[in-house]
């Protein structure tokens, strides 16, 4: 393992002013996205859509540091025969790959899930590295509800995250460690804070046990935020303050950076929360975004599967990427959204 190189890549992934595009939707998830805009989810349409994003010169070169790909996408070529990973590299961004294989019901823990995909992962990582991937992602899912999460669910998911991270570093690939506490319930921000603290503490304990070099990884956590069904939604400033407080308590300074997931927030909410956190610096790690839907909803709608709309889709993508790039430096203002409307 070349830790110097892993650290260089991890640091580049969370550089100020740029963030990570999560374009790793599973076939099922992107079908739902395409259904919403009236587009058939064929391999060709999925390729065309992602090629549109990766050829968005302004967004990719100025505001995107890396792209998380799905297994189908990393092997696809653009219409002109150029591998999609090469388009990403040519823009100056780093190609990455989602390597978990989804979730299964966790035995003896009703309503809870465990992420799977460790079998043959070492073999898959070698092939992904040869194709150009220099980082990977594994997502653990922790739900909040009546009597959950259990310590069992937190422990087994943290253990799997750590095993994945160790395998990545052994393959000279930077692991994005993503323990996501879902915001789907009716819990308040303090409940999210408490559960996220438990999850992060257990995750870093397991990372140490598995001898993962913290200098060669990136953390992708949720924010401390109210559940979607909570009657009282915490304001932007409270989300920022409590998120930074729990990260300072749980995340070692050796970690090069933190790239938030958007987790179902609206486009502007995700941007505003990230921006507010940068008002609370200086911070011991880079702090940026790794958004999927919050970067892609607008360009998907603008594109709508039509070749004549490619330029409009790219403009929408560039706008959202720029807004989040500014937020990752604490320079975003809501008035910038109105100007672009």
pLDDT in tens, 28-68: 999 999 999 999 999 999 999 999 999 999 999 999 999 99
Q: Is 220 a catalytic residue?
A: yes
Separation of alpha carbons 288 and 13, rounded Å: 9
SS3 (DSSP) at 1: coil
SS3 (DSSP) at 215: helix
Residue 17: per-residue pLDDT: 97
The model's pTM: 0.96
Residue 223 burial class via C-beta count within 10 angstroms: exposed 0-12, middle 13-18, buried 19 and up: buried
The H or E element spanning position 114 is: strand 113-115
Choosing from 112, 178, 180, 206, which is the catalytic residue?
Answer: 178
Q: How confident is the model at residue 133 (pLDDT cuts 50, 70, 90)?
A: very high
Choosing from 18, 137, 220, 242, which is the catalytic residue?
Answer: 220
User: Helical H runs in 210-309?
Assistant: 236-250, 267-277, 293-303
* Count of all residues that appear for the chain in the document: 341
Assigned token pair, 308: 């004549």
Residue 28 burial class via C-beta count within 10 angstroms: exposed 0-12, middle 13-18, buried 19 and up: exposed
Q: Is the pLDDT of residue 341 over 60?
A: no
- Give the structural domain span for 97: 3-340
Residue 338: per-residue pLDDT: 77
Separation of alpha carbons 156 and 131, rounded Å: 31
Round the average pLDDT of the chain to a whole number and report it: 96
Residue 340: per-residue pLDDT: 58
Give the count of domains, the chain.
1
Residue 339: per-residue pLDDT: 63
Of 214, 193, 192, 190, the residue nearest 203 (C-alpha): 214
Q: Is the pLDDT of residue 183 over 80?
A: yes
Q: Is the pLDDT of residue 322 over 90?
A: yes
CATH number of the CATH domain containing 47 = 3.20.20.70
- % of the chain beyond a pLDDT of 90: 96
- % of the chain beyond a pLDDT of 70: 99
Q: Is 180 a catalytic residue?
A: no
Q: Is the pLDDT of residue 281 over 90?
A: no
């Amino acid at each position: 393992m070349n830790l110097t190189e892993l650290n260089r890549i991890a640091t580049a992934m969370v550089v100020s002013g740029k963030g990570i595009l999560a374009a790793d939707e599973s076939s099922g998830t992107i079908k739902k996205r395409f259904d919403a805009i009236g587009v058939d989810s064929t391999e060709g349409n999925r390729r065309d859509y992602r090629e549109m994003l990766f050829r968005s010169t302004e967004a990719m070169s100025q505001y995107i540091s890396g792209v998380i790909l799905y297994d189908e996408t990393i092997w696809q070529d653009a219409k002109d025969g150029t591998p999609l990973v090469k388009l990403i590299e040519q823009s100056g961004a780093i190609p990455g790959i989602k390597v978990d294989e989804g979730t299964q019901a966790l035995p003896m823990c009703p309503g809870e899930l465990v992420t799977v995909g460790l079998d043959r992962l070492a073999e898959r990582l070698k092939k992904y590295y040869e194709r150009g991937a220099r980082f990977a992602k594994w997502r653990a899912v922790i739900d909040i509800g009546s009597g959950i999460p259990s310590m069992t669910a937190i422990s087994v998911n943290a253990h799997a995250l750590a095993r994945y991270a160790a395998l990545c570093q052994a393959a000279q690939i930077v692991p994005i460690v993503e323990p996501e506490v879902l915001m789907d319930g009716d819990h308040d921000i303090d409940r999210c804070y408490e559960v996220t603290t438990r999850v992060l503490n257990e995750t870093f304990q397991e990372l140490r046990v598995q001898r993962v070099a913290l200098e060669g990884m990136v953390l992708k956590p949720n924010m401390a935020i109210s559940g979607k069904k909570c009657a009282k939604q915490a304001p932007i400033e409270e989300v920022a303050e409590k998120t930074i407080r729990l990260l300072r308590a749980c995340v070692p300074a050796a970690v090069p950076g933190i790239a938030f997931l958007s987790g179902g927030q609206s486009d502007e909410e995700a941007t505003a929360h990230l921006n507010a956190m940068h008002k609370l610096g200086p911070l011991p790690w880079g702090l940026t975004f790794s958004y999927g839907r919050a970067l892609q909803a607008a360009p998907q709608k603008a594109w709508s599967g039509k070749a004549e709309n490619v330029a409009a889709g790219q403009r929408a993508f560039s706008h959202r990427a720029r807004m989040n790039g500014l937020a990752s430096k604490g320079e975003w203002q809501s008035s910038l959204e109105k100007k672009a409307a």
